[in-house]
Structure 1
């Protein structure tokens, strides 16, 4: 016996609710408390002097002795089976899931291992039940999505009827400007809807469904303001989902090499005006965009849409991650070979530890997790720029802002 005082050993050993098993260097069991003996289905002293393999299912025995030998050499406390499931072998031939913590012992010049073993069968059963509940929830979400698709189709029909009504009102009241605005709002609702269940889609889909249900309750003419409010909510969320789908389609094209670039000569003022015009609709209260100076007469021979996409992404990010009443500055410089675009903001910045991963697909920095986004925009921009012979870099400090810089050759080559 490895313990000198048997009475003290028994008191301490049997007081532990977990199963306790002690093995020597040859992996033979020299002590086991009542909890361990009962857990594995044996009688009081049945386990003494038996090899540890007795308690291990046959399918796991092949490499187990190597793990034990390695633990004997390291002599450090650790959790057994990290990264994989562990099972114990019951006397009746069945197996059950366990957790085991290993502790080295050195007694009377001999090395031993004490294992604390816990039967986690109940927990595993609960986890399986929880997984079944999650699967059922996903099925319900899919069903709700199908219902939502039907609702959107009904909205499209309603919008078509509403278009006719608006056109008649335009002719009767000769208020062309007001009617065009309403028509635009209604036409925006005709965005093609695709059913895609994912983490990024659940929140906007829920908002669309809620607004659609409330919209049907406002049938009186004097309730037009409330209808417009919910129509605006639906429009914004559908646009957000559409942008996500466009990003995923762009990734697929980039990965499969199906991207074809349309090179042409264009004036820089054309894309800058378009980018700033669209960005103005996203500005927070008090935010302003500083127009680049000295770009009249500058041109590029590149893919115009890709250059506009890249500059839009940087400007939209600057707006999203900057506070109200702040300035976003755009600067453009051109020499004989290269055109450089810089977008500077005074926003939340990028933590230093996250900066190496900022162009990785789906990555979002720690301080931006609560702000809506997919983390694929910069990855797409970088891929396109690489294909066109350009590059993108940035400088950023947390809580002080960021400056993103794009460099493109003045004349792209196929």
Structure 2
């Protein structure tokens, strides 16, 4: 087989497309593989400008590349491979790798383009991108689900921790309750029992003064027990979330005057509760029942922890911004190192001695005040007395 026949056989059987053009960019030959790629018959493209196989916007640029090469000798596209788009007869495009070579033949230049179809590679590449994108989306979704699961687990753990802490607090409260109740109930009950026995004795001797003295002790003991039970009931309602603030408008001055008149009846000998109001405004928007319970608790503490022949100050102040109620005494005060426990349930300072109390009052006061959107501030020093203020925003 001579060389010409060999080249012709290679040209016709090559898998990749081969196209030759002259120096004017006119197609001279296209092998069968190239014709199949572009969808043409040989006679349809023979003699046509190569631009017929190039889609816009590169269609008009090809001749310019060819002429610049011929004028300058610079090989911009010749001798290199690059990816381009081809235009089929049916108007569709496809990607291929183009390598162009220049050949001198019979005193003229012929340019040969070798075309390798990249459609399957590009399709596989797009499929890979799509698969990668879908995989990334699934990974992102799974990651988000995992993050949500972790967050839920952390919340469940935190909830379990809070439940355990709450259980510890409840167990501690039960222990404190048993300890306090065994002490606080024993004393008044013993007093009631003893007074009842003595009354029987004094009845035989007809000693009315002693009888009255012991009936008064019984009344005081019963009042003390009633106060303890009321504290327990208030705490139970607060813990169960049954206590709600029912806000309404009322006159704070009238409210305070009536409360002081009531509390003065249980004050010690020569204890005087002095009331003063500051501000031209007297109407407030709070829960009068919760406020009364809180104020009675503060005044009761002032009476209980102050001596005879003392003054207790009850002050109210209302302006456009705030409502402030302050109870101040000159009693035993609270040791500085114990003040951090002041609002804990069942807490009582060590210097209270034999003065009766449940240790629940200030805890209840604080929670009542917070239900009304307020806060409690205090100042106390041992042997110098205590000042407690209830502060609310004026609505």
What TM-score results when the alignment is normalised by the length of structure 1? 0.49
CA distance in 1, matches of 2:392, 2:205: 54
The residue that corresponds to 1:345 in the other structure is 329
Please state how far the C-alpha of 1:380 moved relative to its aligned partner.
0.4
CA distance in 1, matches of 2:186, 2:333: 28
Paired residues of 1:268 and 1:295 also in contact (CA < 8 A): no
The residue that corresponds to 2:309 in the other structure is 325
The residue that corresponds to 1:230 in the other structure is 214
Paired residues of 2:369 and 2:376 also in contact (CA < 8 A): yes
- 1:253 maps to 2:237: yes
Quote the RMSD (CA, aligned, Å): 2.1
Paired residues of 1:348 and 1:400 also in contact (CA < 8 A): yes
CA distance in 2, matches of 1:286, 1:233: 20
Distance 1:256 1:231, change over 3 A: same
CA distance in 1, matches of 2:248, 2:294: 17
Please state how far the C-alpha of 1:241 moved relative to its aligned partner.
0.3
Please state how far the C-alpha of 1:294 moved relative to its aligned partner.
4.1
Please state how far the C-alpha of 1:334 moved relative to its aligned partner.
1.0
- 1:271 maps to 2:222: no
The residue that corresponds to 1:211 in the other structure is 195
> Alpha-carbon deviations, 1:283-308, whole Å to 9, x = none?
22332222113467601221111111
In structure 2, the gaps of 5 or more residues are 1-179
The residue that corresponds to 2:226 in the other structure is 242
Paired residues of 2:244 and 2:371 also in contact (CA < 8 A): no
CA distance in 2, matches of 1:371, 1:312: 17
CA distance in 2, matches of 1:219, 1:322: 36
Please state how far the C-alpha of 1:221 moved relative to its aligned partner.
9.6
CA distance in 2, matches of 1:206, 1:224: 22
Distance 1:261 1:306, change over 3 A: same
Please state how far the C-alpha of 1:209 moved relative to its aligned partner.
0.9
The residue that corresponds to 2:157 in the other structure is none
- SS of match in other structure, 2:256: helix
Please state how far the C-alpha of 1:373 moved relative to its aligned partner.
0.8
Matches within 5 A, 1:2-13: none
Paired residues of 1:302 and 1:410 also in contact (CA < 8 A): no
- SS of match in other structure, 2:277: coil
CA distance in 2, matches of 1:370, 1:216: 28
Please state how far the C-alpha of 1:197 moved relative to its aligned partner.
6.3
- SS of match in other structure, 2:201: coil
Paired residues of 2:317 and 2:325 also in contact (CA < 8 A): yes
CA distance in 1, matches of 2:201, 2:238: 45
- SS of match in other structure, 1:291: strand
What TM-score results when the alignment is normalised by the length of structure 2? 0.51
Larger Rg: 2
CA distance in 2, matches of 1:294, 1:375: 31
Distance 1:197 1:377, change over 3 A: closer
- SS of match in other structure, 1:217: helix
- 1:357 maps to 2:341: yes
> Alpha-carbon deviations, 1:4-62, whole Å to 9, x = none?
xxxxxxxxxxxxxxxxxxxxxxxxxxxxxxxxxxxxxxxxxxxxxxxxxxxxxxxxxxx
The residue that corresponds to 1:403 in the other structure is 387
Distance 1:299 1:360, change over 3 A: same
CA distance in 2, matches of 1:348, 1:218: 37
> Alpha-carbon deviations, 1:305-330, whole Å to 9, x = none?
11111111111111211222222112
